[in-house]
Structures are given as structure tokens and as C-alpha cells.
Structure 1
Amino acid sequence: MRAPIGHFDHATPAPECLDELIRPVADAVREWRGSIPAEQIVYVDTDPQWADTATFVEHYGQELLEQSANCVVVAGRRGGETTLAACVVLSTTRADVNGAVRRLLGARKASFAPMDTATGETGMEYGGITPIGLPGDWPVLVDSAVVELPYVLVGSGRRRGKLLVPGKVFAELPNAVVLDGLGVSAGES
């Protein structure tokens, strides 16, 4: 599977277009120290109206669904404490919030964080949240299927644009935990 750059009019290595990225994402790219060079993280300019996965693949090509991932913010609660974390799963699955996420966070209850919390705590736009540039103390739970892909399309921090990222980068993010089975099909619980 090769990088689907041909689907997009404008694709630029992220370090060359930091002004196009929202501040926490630009800072993470600027400070990147992973084994894969930051130049392999590519920003592709896309229209904000196509930000949601279903409309994105409808517009840019159904085959991109297999190379796309979603990053969702979850809140785990135990007693009076709340732990925020991010989950990165393939777009063909959903995060196992009530099972794997709840257990890993040691929470009694886990749920998707409210939109205001997700955007306020990340500094990113809803519908464009990406695991690159999240608060440094957050757990970043990544489904192993994401890491195994050569390239993954994920949000850029804004509704405009996506990042095309080598799958192995997700395992190198601060506080990343790679899990088998984090992403489950819609029929599983």
C-alpha cells in the first residue's frame, strides 16, 4: 500500500507548512524527535466540508477508508477523578471505550469527552482532532492495526486538511500505548 498523495491537489511535508497547522500540531512537528523523520508527515489540504470520514471518502475516494483513522478524546472517571486520553482507531472501526479503554485507564466509567472539553483541552477543532500535538501527559491509545499500515490519513488539528502519517509514527507519540483490539467493528461491544 503506498501513500495516497495523488488523491489531493496539495500535499506538503508538514515541517514546510507549519503556518497551515494549528499551534499544538505545528509545535509537535517542529519538535519531532522520532525515528521516522518529520518530513514523512505530510499535510494534505482538503476542504473543511469534507472533514468527516464518511463525506471525506465519498469525495476523495472510497479506497481511502482503509487508510484513514479517527482520533477521539475519551474521559475515564473513577471517584471524583477524570482522566482524558485519546484513542486512535481505523475509520472502519470504533474505539472499545467501555471495554479496553475503561480497563486501561482504570476507570469505573469511560465515555467520549464532551465536544467543549475535547476542543478546549486539545486546542484543536472538533472533527479534526489528531494525536500529533495532544497534551503531553495524556495517554494516547493506538490500535495496532493503525501502526501496521504504511500510511494513515488522520486529522490535522483543524477541519481543513489532513495529515498523511507513516503508521509507525503513532507508536512513537508521547505516552503512546499500542493495543490489539482497541478498534472493534460496529457490531461488537
Structure 2
Amino acid sequence: MAVTGVLWAVAALYVAQANLPKNVIELPGQDKAATAVGPVAPQGWAFFTKSPRDVELVPYVYRDGEWRSALRAPHARPSNAFGLDRASRSQGIEMALLLERAGELTDWADCAGALTAVDCLDTAAASDRVRNPSPEPSLCGTAAIVQMRPVPWAWRDLLPGTHTPEKAATWKVSC
């Protein structure tokens, strides 16, 4: 059992070293291992990561006279059974379906000057009606999608949140 663990650890070390830039660590037979690893794992580490600067789409619903986040993530929180409940994973697909259905009729409101998504949504006008085709929808009634950009690390103390709104789209969604 211990031998198997050591073999897996050595294999993982060679795969990691083959994908890392040139550094001070030199493993025996590293060059041969790198040519063998390339065809097996061509994607490298970038395959497993997402740029922290990418924009995010965040869903909102209008309930009881105020905008509320409808985001089901993070996936590992207790309400998602610590990642076992996969419903939170389907929300991105649901938002993509709404955006595709609404198409060019979507009137994106510019959020320039708004510090929060709610500030932006309070001034955004609702676009046309759209039907939500999701089998278990989370966005019904007056709903919105806000495109949020992460606040750069250097500005973290200047703004109240971790993301700032760029634009927002609202609809009357039938489910």
C-alpha cells in the first residue's frame, strides 16, 4: 500500500515538473518524462484554472420591492449539501439559455458610476418578456443578470466590494 502511494507521488512530481517553467529542481530523466507527459497531459495547468480577471454573470430577482441575489453558488456551502447537490451548477446554463432566448432584444444597461449591482439594477429598465426553458428554474418573475468585474487587488481598499457592475439586463421571465 505504501509503495503504491510513493509511486503515485513520484509520478505526480514528474508530471508537475514537466509542466512547470524551468527552475532549480532537476529530476533524473526529466527530459524523457517531459516528452512522455506532453501527449498524455497536453493542457498543462491552465486547463484547470480560470483567469481571476474574467467577468462574472450574477443572477438577481426582484422580490418584495427589492433586488436580491439569486446566486446558488458557492457550490460547497451547506445549502448545496457541501457540493453534493448539483443544482448550483445548472444556474450558469440557465443564464446562458435566458441570454440566448432574449437575444438582440436584450437592453443592456450601462452600470457606469454604480458601486453595487443593486445600484445599477435600480436604474435599469426591463427588456421584453422571455420564457425560461430550464426544467428547474431559479429565475422567474422580474429577473436580471449583472455582468460583474473583479476589483483589481491594488484597488481593494478603495471600493466596498470585491466586484463592480459593468452592465445589467432585466426581463419579465415566465417559467
User: TM class, shorter-chain normalised?
Assistant: under 0.3
Q: TM-score, normalised by structure 1?
A: 0.23
| Bigger helix share | 2
Q: Whose relative contact order is higher, 1 or 2, with alpha carbons under 8 Å and at least 6 apart?
A: 1
TM-score of the superposition, structure 2-length normalised?
0.24
